[in-house]
Structure 1
Amino acid sequence: MSGEQNQGPWFVDEETDQYLASLDLAMPADEPPDALWARIAGSLAGDKGHVGLRLNEGRWREFAPGVEYKRLWNRNTLLLRCAPGAAVPDHEHRTYEHAVMVSGDLMVEDQVFGPGDYQGTPAGGTHPIWRTRTGCLVLVHYEAA
């Protein structure tokens, strides 16, 4: 759990990681607008001492129908956003997964999680299907492999 080996796939499994990588390559490379770099530089140089990103800013990627994710500060940390009625399929984890509910509801087998609740899946474990009735936002962190 302490990151003694090289970092493995950041999300779910190798097959999914390869699938998502091919989607990234399907779009031609594009330079961000000059104004974006100016905004970033201004934020970094300002007296605020922090960088912010609003929930609807940045790139959200589809994982499953009604389920999307956005990487945050590294490959191992992301937000998972699920529409009402959506489900995250069961899958294995190569590293320990930590999940903290930010909003909404999440049903995992016979347990219902709400805002502030924590759910963990150990390395090598399979987490069952996650379902939501009302939709949810989950902060997910994977420990380095």
Structure 2
Amino acid sequence: MPDGAQKPPRKRLLADEPSPASIFLDVPNMPWEETKFPGIKCKTLCTDPSGLATLLLELEPGAVVPLHEHTAIEQTYVLRGHFLDEEGECLEGQFVWRPAGNTHVAWAGPEGATILSIFLRPNIFADGRKFFTEEG
């Protein structure tokens, strides 16, 4: 389609209504947000009322995600550094997923870590802290 040309809204396949628009983010220019966890910052890429969250997380060397339980599947891809828990470790380019009910402590290696994490619902933390995107 030529630059500047307007495309008519596409209709959904399963309903007689317009297709919702895509959301594009300029992630490199988004500010890092502080979290309730020392040494961990995030960029919230996607959230919805169900608790679904896609987060880009920056962990300083040795930063800890304290004891928590996953209430639904969690997926993490390591973009940079070293991300560990009691069960194993992921280096740059590696991926880990955890099923609902998995309970663990996670931390960044000595060089820190940048990770992309996808959660279907907020985690429950042993110390009562709220999840990164949960209000309250």
Residue equivalent to 2:8: none
| Residue 47 (structure 2) pairs with residue 74 (structure 1) | yes
What CA deviation, in whole Å up to 9, does each residue of 1:4-53 have, x standing for no partner?
xxxxxxxxxxxxxxxxxxxxxxxxxxxxxxxxxxxxxxxxx968x98341
Select which of 69, 80, 83 maps to 1:106.
Answer: 83
| Higher RCO (CA 8 Å, separation ≥ 6 residues) | 1
Asked if 2 retains the 8 angstrom alpha-carbon contact of 1:121 and 1:127, the reply is no
Contact 2:32-2:41 at 8 Å conserved across structures: no
Is residue 117 from structure 1 mapped to residue 90 from structure 2 by the alignment? no
Instruction: Give the match for residue 53 of structure 1.
Output: 26
Q: Deviations over 1:96-122 (max 9, x none)?
A: 100110111112226331111111121
* CA distance in 2: counterparts of 1:134 and 1:46, whole angstroms: 45
What is the root-mean-square deviation of aligned Cα atoms in Å? 2.8
SS in 2 for 1:99: strand
Percent of aligned pairs with the same amino acid: 30
Contact 2:64–2:105 (CA under 8 A) maintained in structure 1: no
In terms of mean alpha carbon deviation, does 76-85 or 107-116 score higher?
107-116
- Using the size of structure 2 for normalisation, the TM-score is 0.61
Query: In 1, distance between residues paired with 2:47 and 2:23?
Result: 16
Higher alpha-carbon deviation: 113-122 or 96-105: 113-122
The reply on whether 1:64 has 2:37 as its aligned counterpart is yes
User: What TM-score do you get using the length of structure 1 for normalisation?
Assistant: 0.57
Aligned length: 100
Structure ranking higher in helix proportion: 1
Which structure 2 residue ranges, 5 or more long, are not aligned? 6-21, 123-136
The answer to whether the 8 A contact 2:60-2:108 is kept is no
